[in-house]
Amino acid sequence: SYELTQPPSVSVSPGQTASVTCSGDKLGDKYVHWYQQKPGQSPVLVIYQDNKRPSGIPERFSGSNSGNTATLTISGTQPMDEADYFCQAWDSSTAIFGGGTKLTVL
């Protein structure tokens, strides 16, 4: 079965750039979506179709997808960005989520 692999944790200093990766076989051939989840809250879509931002999502969030890796990039990371981030794609009519990455801003 298809798998998406994310690093369990990423740390970044405030104001710096954070990169969260998501790896899967030929992932660049699929659309990847990214969700942010803060403790006790529901997931929020932050990037869809590899690099599109929903309305209301700050411009500091961006995405890319090529080869076997998709990347969520947060430029000028703020303390409020501390959260779990999940990538998601579809394979054979099955939605696949990555295991999630805990982003710590310190």
Partner 1 sequence: EVHLVESGGGLVKRGDSLRLSCAASGFTFSSFSMNWVRQAPGKGLEWVSTISASTGTYIYYADSLRGRFTISRDNSKNSLYLQMNSLSAEDTAVYFCARGPEGSGLSVFDYWGQGALVTVSS
Residues that bind partner 1 (CB under 8 A): 1, 31, 33, 35, 37, 42-45, 48-49, 54, 86, 88, 90, 93-100
CB of 97 to partner 1, least distance (A): 4
Measured from the CB atom, is 15 or 33 closer to partner 1? 33
Residue 87: is it exposed, middle or buried by C-beta count within 10 angstroms (0-12/13-18/19+)? buried
CB of 87 to partner 1, least distance (A): 10
CA 83 to mean position of chain CA atoms? 11
CA distance 14 to 78: 5
Min CB(26)–partner 1 separation in Å: 17
Judged by beta carbon, residue 77 or residue 88, the one nearer partner 1 is: 88
**Pair 67, 29: CB distance under 8 Å:** no
